[in-house]
Amino acid sequence: MPPKARWFARHWPWLRLAPLLAGLLPPASGAVRTDSSAGTLLFQFSGAAADEAWGAVNDGVMGGVSRGGSKVIDGALHFRGTLSLENNGGFSSVRSFGPARDLGPATAIVLRVRGDGRTYRLQLSTDASFRGARISYQAPFATRRGEWIEVAVPLESLEPRFRGQRLRGPPLDRARIREFGLSLSDGNPGPFALEVDWIRSR
């Protein structure tokens, strides 16, 4: 009997069982990739990464009385507060204060969030300024009450704004992102709550 035939005869019982055994084994690590593992991780809120500073900027800078801020709880960034329209106010925000990041190759920012059904805004800032203050490039994203979802915000959808006013430019310099931020300014007074698991570029 040729060597190849002898090998096949000796291993035939195991070859017949291979498809059945394969169904009992877990998939190989990394064999299945979802959106949550794609792209470049920008922020996660556990371990040493949780120490990166996020600060609050509310409408008190313009005389308003809205309250809001952030805190890391159980591996997620919690952005909470109460929105008020009194004294011409109506916004609350939190912003990161880390090193500049280059998002040149990216086309979108993806966030895993659990919200209260309200529409929040993603904010990015560069060195660009207007009247001595940084311009905020913003775009809205919706949430579902009590449900974790992934939302993708195309970078091309971000509009330059200054104190709620839309500007004609300059365009977003994706290579020098100085700040990331989250804000609420939907015109509905009352408490709000948003949790963020992670933020990625894609």
pLDDT in tens, 6-29: 543 454 443 343 333 333 333 332
Confidence of residue 52 (pLDDT cuts 50, 70, 90): low
If you average pLDDT over residues 63-83, what whole number do you get? 96
The pLDDT tens digits of the residues spanning 127-138 come to 999 999 999 999
* pLDDT attached to residue 46: 83
**This prediction's pTM:** 0.80
121 pLDDT above the threshold of 90: yes
Which has the minimum average pLDDT: 32-41, 55-64, 103-112, 155-164?
32-41
* pLDDT attached to residue 53: 77
178 pLDDT above the threshold of 70: yes
If you average pLDDT over residues 35-59, what whole number do you get? 79
* pLDDT attached to residue 163: 85
* pLDDT attached to residue 14: 39
* pLDDT attached to residue 48: 59
Percentage, residues of the chain above pLDDT 90: 73
> Concatenated DSSP letters for 52-115?
S-EEEEEGGGGT---EEEEEEETTEEEEEEEE--GGG---EEEEE----B--TT--EEEEEEEB
Q: What's the CA gap between 82 and 125, in Å, rounded?
A: 24
Q: Which helix (H) or strand (E) holds 161?
A: strand 159-162
Q: Would you call the peptide bond into 27 cis, given omega within 30 degrees of 0 as the criterion?
A: no
Confidence of residue 61 (pLDDT cuts 50, 70, 90): confident
* pLDDT attached to residue 4: 44
| Token digits of residue 156 | 């091309």
159 pLDDT above the threshold of 70: yes
* pLDDT attached to residue 97: 81
If you average pLDDT over residues 68-89, what whole number do you get? 96
All domains of the chain in start order, with CATH = 35-201 (2.60.120.430)
